[in-house]
Amino acid sequence: MALCLALKEGQIMDDSDRILRTEFSEVMQKSYIDYAMSVIISRAIPDVRDGLKPVQRRTLYDMHELGIRYDKPFRKSARIVGDTMGKYHPHGDSSIYEALVVMAQDFKKSLPLVDGHGNFGSIEGDGAAAMRYTEARLKKITQEAFLSDLDKDVVDFIPNFDETEKEPEVLPVKIPNLLVNGAEGIAVGMVTSIPPHNLSEVIDAVKAYMKNPDINTVQMMEYIKGPDFPTGGIVTNRDELLQLYSTGVGKIKIRGRAEIEKGKNGKLSIVVTEIPYTMIGAGIGKFLNDVYHLVETRVTSDITDISNQSSKEGIRIVIELKKGADAGNILNLLYKKTRLEDTFGVNMLSVCDGKPETLGIVPIIRHHVKFQYELATRKYNTLLAKELDKKEVQEGLIKACDVIDLIIEILRGSKTVKEAKECLMTGETANIKFKSEESKRDAAKLCFTERQATAILEMRLSKLVGLEIEALIKEHDETLKNIAGYEDILSNRGSMAKVIIRELNACQKEYGQPRRTGLEQLSEIVIEEKPIEEMDVCFLMDRFGYTKVIDMASYERNRETVESENRFIFTVKNTGRVGVFTTAGNLHIIKVSDIPFTKFRDKGKPIDNVSRYDSAVESFVYVGNLEEIIVRQFIFTSSDGMSKRVEGAEFDLKNRMNKATRLNEGASLVSVIDVNEAESLVYATKNNMFLRVDAGDIPEKKKTAVGVKGITLSGNDEVREVYPLPAEGGRIAEGSKGEFDLSSLRVLGRASKGVKR
């Protein structure tokens, strides 16, 4: 398909207005690539230099511009969000506020960048309060290590979205923030997931790289030993970290930290004090549910209670055990079956030189160090220029103090400031009155620069005091010292490295923290599972599809009530399986262990929740003990009158959902009858046609066959039910003229029409 960009009707076409024809697919491809790159670069992926996404960078810069510093009062989050959105980030307030909240959460960031005041959420998944209720300001480290040098022309400023403001292309961050705080982001066709690391270790690694730029990953890991999650925990695959840090891609297995405590009554409890980083938020609630599910499904019977006693002081989840329980084995079970041990997928993707790239740990630090040298070069060039300007002015003022009488005479003899300034700069004395020719000759020798002349003319008389002149000379000496220092830094890479390392040491000393996450190489967990004691239980399912199993004693005590309230009732082993045949021709197989073992009065669970049964499109036809089903024969009948006999062994299957029979289009399964229950069958149709046939006339077929015609139907009639009739008869059914005994029907041949009753 070609895309034609045509002129509007009546518009005159000239050389600048042409009809452009291009392939639609090419336009779509280019547009999609442009969109993808915009999402990658401008929204979702952090920059390797400052480790920040655009929304984070813009929020911090806006707070800096608003003056919301660490030593100033808090300001409403709504004000910060609104100002950021209006000036720099026109992508909605929710993304800005979410970024602000995350930068304030110490359980997500190793080094929080924002000081939050109010409800900024919790580790258990509670969301932050609305932005109109919370307040925020910058952290001290953010002000000192992220924003302090913005006034020294260290980074480029670019126009904002509507070109009414300027924003920094990148923040002049002094620490490898990409590693310290990590990053998470989903772009188009790619994702970044970088774990947080320990600040002190990362700074040590930077210093090691600056001393030895040829350092390899093995040597680097002497300093950065592994990730350091703010939630603590234990990394269990330490030996795999080398490959991860070399390639930038891999998996980290992290385990929560738990202790075994002994109670007053001698019972043991497992107390979880640190959780995996991946459990932050709803993961804690899911962990509690998973433990409950282990008990409910009888995977373990040694857990008696679980309670979440976490508070501001930290995580504390208490799992109480039965007396005599093997606490170590139960803890291993929790690691194996719940998210107490989890996997953190790593893809160290960041924007490098304007394009996304997956980097190992050494290249990330290389980019950071290169950035630090660029920042230092621009910073000290700016400082040097300022000191040279000061030097020029100071030298002019010192020189002026030596000829102050002449300067005063020039000022008194000049008609305008311009004439006086011209005299000071070029020695022009034509329009100035002097007291003597000697003064005029001395004035003609003056050659101050324009900046010096301006400073002299603006100088206050109080500067002529002796102490002020001494202070000026002292200040000039300091300026000369600074100039020498800056020139040394700019001309000597070693001197610049010392300055960078000095700043890193100061940051490390003030903000460094001990490592929180342990690093170990642990073997795969082996669970010593106790064999389940096999026993008979009673399966119950009511007409609404709620199912449960109860112990046989409860069934015997409440037999009458059980039979009146439930549709399907039978005995099954607690290690066995239940087979459910449905109108859609499906067989759903359910492990008894997946069905809740409850008290008699408990409601149970919908069968939809323990199998792949869908109550919206199918209904129950037959439910039974699968171990008994597979040793019997069954007669299947569909709504279009087709019947067949099937060996139960065909249903000894492993899948949770299987095709039990083949149906003609538009037909549904109506009946599944145990052959042992029927000497003859009675077909009953919606139009009250009844046909009694000998059960032996139904031939044996495979479950994949449709079967043979059991009854011939007229018009739009269809089979509504099939009654098994034992040899002794005596079964009552409802016909058009009322109830009657099915044994009164004469046995006819298969595929007959039957009789009207």
The residue written with tokens 């959780």 in the block is 275
Q: Enumerate residues 6+ apart whose C-beta is below 8 A from 385.
A: none
Catalytic hit among 133, 245, 373, 683: 133
The residue written with tokens 């000026």 in the block is 472
Q: Which of 715, 718, 624, 627 is nearest to 666 (CA)?
A: 718
Q: Which of 571, 533, 566 is nearest to 551 (CA)?
A: 571
- Which sign does the torsion angle of CA 83, 86, 91, 94 carry? positive
The residue written with tokens 């960041």 in the block is 350
Spatial distance between the Cα atoms of 554 and 625, rounded to a whole number of angstroms: 19
Report pLDDT for 57: 95
CB 539 within 8 A of CB 549: yes
Spatial distance between the Cα atoms of 521 and 524, rounded to a whole number of angstroms: 10
**Angle at CA of residue 551, ends 549 and 553, nearest 5°:** 145
Lookup: tokens for 83: 């100002």
State the amino acid at position 620 in one-letter form.
F
Residue 676 — φ and ψ, nearest 5°? Answer: -70, -15
Spatial distance between the Cα atoms of 50 and 530, rounded to a whole number of angstroms: 53
* pLDDT tens by residue, 637-669: 999 999 999 999 999 998 999 999 999 999 999
State the amino acid at position 468 in one-letter form.
E
Structural Rg of the chain based on CA atoms: 42
CB 632 within 8 A of CB 648: yes
- E-strand ranges in 607-668 read 620-625, 633-638, 642-647, 657-659
Spatial distance between the Cα atoms of 16 and 12, rounded to a whole number of angstroms: 10
State the amino acid at position 152 in one-letter form.
K
SS3 493: helix
β-pair type (546-551, 536-541)? antiparallel
Tell the burial category of 575 from Cβ atoms under 10 Å away from its Cβ (0-12, 13-18, 19+): middle
CB 725 within 8 A of CB 731: yes
Spatial distance between the Cα atoms of 57 and 186, rounded to a whole number of angstroms: 17
Q: What is the 3-state secondary structure (H, E, C) of 310-374?
A: CECCECCEEEEECCCCCHHHHHHHHHHHCCCEEEEEEECEEEECCEEEECCHHHHHHHHHHHHHH
Largest CA distance in the chain: 153
Q: How far apart are the first and last CA of the chain?
A: 67
Spatial distance between the Cα atoms of 50 and 34, rounded to a whole number of angstroms: 24
Spatial distance between the Cα atoms of 196 and 408, rounded to a whole number of angstroms: 66
Report pLDDT for 9: 44
- E-strand ranges in 517-639 read 518-519, 536-541, 546-551, 568-573, 577-582, 586-591, 605-606, 620-625, 633-638
Tell the burial category of 268 from Cβ atoms under 10 Å away from its Cβ (0-12, 13-18, 19+): buried
Q: Enumerate residues 6+ apart whose C-beta is below 8 A from 290.
A: 337, 338, 339
Helix axes 417-426, 450-458, angle to 10 degrees: 130
- Strands ordered across the beta sheet of 303-308: 257-262, 268-274, 317-321, 303-308
Spatial distance between the Cα atoms of 732 and 206, rounded to a whole number of angstroms: 90
Q: Where are the alpha helices (DSSP H) in 128-235?
A: 140-145, 177-180, 199-211, 217-220
DSSP state of 609: H
State the amino acid at position 163 in one-letter form.
E
State the amino acid at position 183 in one-letter form.
A
Q: Where are the alpha helices (DSSP H) in 577-688?
A: 607-610, 626-629
Q: Which of 519, 442, 421 is nearest to 197 (CA)?
A: 519
Spatial distance between the Cα atoms of 449 and 677, rounded to a whole number of angstroms: 119
Spatial distance between the Cα atoms of 133 and 118, rounded to a whole number of angstroms: 7
The residue written with tokens 């030593």 in the block is 71
Under the phi-then-psi rule, with left for phi > 0, alpha for psi from -120 to 50, and beta for the rest, what region is 92? left
The residue written with tokens 């490959």 in the block is 243
How many other C-beta atoms can be found within 10 angstroms of the C-beta atom of residue 407?
22
Q: What is the 3-state secondary structure (H, E, C) of 195-208?
A: CCCCHHHHHHHHHH
683 has catalytic annotation: no
* This prediction's pTM: 0.73
- Strands ordered across the beta sheet of 536-541: 568-573, 536-541, 546-551, 605-606
Element (H, E) at 646: strand 642-647
CB 583 within 8 A of CB 669: yes
β-pair type (257-262, 268-274)? antiparallel
Give the CA count within 13 Å in the CB-facing half-sphere of 646: 26
* pLDDT tens by residue, 209-254: 999 999 999 999 999 999 999 999 999 999 999 999 999 999 999 9
SS3 284: helix
Lookup: tokens for 467: 């102490």
Q: Enumerate residues 6+ apart whose C-beta is below 8 A from 448.
A: 396, 399, 400, 424, 425, 456
CB 231 within 8 A of CB 314: no
Report pLDDT for 2: 43
Positions of the chain with pLDDT under 70: 1-17, 32-42, 461-467, 528-532, 729
DSSP state of 130: P
Give the CA count within 13 Å in the CB-facing half-sphere of 499: 18
